[in-house]
Chains A and B, each alone.
Chain A
């Protein structure tokens, strides 16, 4: 068996070990990675930055703990920016595991920025069936959410005074790891026409740039790299930027393996074709 055949038959557990080491080594000795900001991320930052104190922004947190690594950093960065600018934020989740995550983010960041629930922001809670919930919110927030997550009627919350539906907010930022981004595009932006931006996992990113081109989205934060870019803009370095060193090492290892496997694949295929030609 020549070296190329051996390369084709590497036990996958060696690959797992190599990736594991590639991730562990930066945790022992980390380094800073310069982050360049892409236009689609900057547009969301500029949008939030252009709002005045007291303007309303709607943030929908639709991910679960399995996507926290990618989406939590961007959610924290956006909420930090909103609170620094004294914007009023309305939070909603359409994911069943979202309530705990939203509560964790809002309570921690509200304490950091001296924001009061019900006065500076509101967390309306969780509802299933995203399409129906988004359509209902477009009519009146109090239809799907007659009270907030903590059981307080919406009309008794000072922050919800005069806020009826999406017409009263400047824009919607949706952070999701699932198909709720499609629901917001179809039933939110498609039906009500409000400005919509999304923060999504890396795997989904390639699919949503077409909506950026068509103007249905005004911005995209793609995965943990996008989160690092947003943290760079906001000036609150967090988990996103911290992960970049790990990403660089791990991606380099993966690229090396891809090159090795492709070289081995084409070499063995060529050799196999050569042998078959000889036999004929």
Chain B
């Protein structure tokens, strides 16, 4: 890494970023005022940023500008949105139920078919669409089917898991745990990547500060 051309602005704000990174890392030793300061700062900044973003992208772009442009029909969803706020009033909370009913009704109607298509039909087709053959691909397919069936049995709640059902359920939980292990391993990679990114940033700042 070689130092780049930085102005005072870059030194100050990157320095603040480096300092806040170290404040958060200090939590690894124990809770302390530096961590608390950084925690509250990030909560406040994120809330403020998100509030303004929501105002400009939701209210201004989707309510104010269309109404100003003469698209009067936008008043209906705007009214439904305002009705949702009545939820916080004990006297008027019943008004919000109409907005919620509208929202859940449309949401359910749109999502039921596509959810079934995505999560059930396509997966069923992929599971049963390949024959069991006497080669590696066939063995793989057989193992996939065993894993799917045993995991489904594990999540069966209507009968106690005893006897043959209990045995299959046990295979199911082992399959699920193997899957979790794979996910955990990949997560370690992800978390290490976040740490590495911060270390590279801190190293870059030190090089910049002390000239490399």
Contacts and interface: CB of A to CB of B under 8 A. Distances in A.
A215 B129 CA distance: 12
Interface string A1-39: 000000000000100100110011001000000000000
Interface string B12-55: 00000000000000001100000000000000000001100110
Given A126-B57, A190-B114, A214 B122 contact: yes
Given A69-B194, A126-B53, A223 B186 contact: yes
Contacts of B187: 202-203
Contacts, number: 119
Given A206-B179, A225-B189, A131 B199 contact: no
Interface hub of A67, A206, A239 (most chain B Cβ within 10 A):
A206
A189 interface: yes
B133 interface: no
A171 interface: no
A99 B111 CA distance: 27
A191 B114 contact: yes
A190 B54 CA distance: 28
A27 B186 contact: no
A69 B196 contact: yes
B19 to A, nearest CB: 17
B194 A70 contact: yes
Interface string A87-121: 00000000011010000000000000000000000
* Chief secondary structure at chain B's binding surface: helix
Nearest to B28: A16
A190 B118 contact: yes
Interface string B104-116: 0001001100110
Contacts of B179: 206
Interface residues of B, number: 39
B145 interface: no
A139 interface: no
Nearest to A246: B196
B110 A131 contact: yes
B193 interface: yes
A135 interface: yes
A215 B121 CA distance: 12
B111 A128 contact: no
Contacts of B197: 68-69, 239, 243
Interface residues of A, number: 52
B79 interface: no
A166 to B, nearest CB: 14
Contacts of B195: 19-20, 23, 250
A187 B190 CA distance: 27
B123 A210 contact: yes
B186 A214 contact: no
Contact of B186 (A19, A135, A222): A222
B188 interface: yes
A186 B183 CA distance: 22
A216 interface: yes
A43 interface: no
B122 A27 contact: no
A128 B29 contact: no
A159 interface: no
B126 interface: yes
Nearest to B129: A214
Nearest to A216: B122
Nearest to A22: B192
Contacts of B188: 202, 251, 254
Contact of A223 (B57, B125, B190): B190
B192 to A, nearest CB: 4
Contact of B126 (A20, A99, A213): A213
20 contacts: A13-B28, A66-B194, A67-B194, A69-B193, A69-B197, A70-B190, A96-B49, A96-B54, A128-B57, A187-B114, A190-B117, A202-B186, A202-B189, A202-B190, A203-B183, A213-B126, A224-B190, A242-B200, A246-B192, A247-B192
Per CB-CB distance, the 9 closest pairs between chain A and chain B, nearest first, are A69-B197, A214-B126, A202-B190, A202-B186, A203-B187, A190-B114, A206-B183, A224-B193, A246-B196
Given A19-B195, A128-B57, A203-B190, 8 more contacts: A27-B203, A131-B111, A135-B110, A186-B118, A191-B114, A205-B186, A247-B196, A251-B188
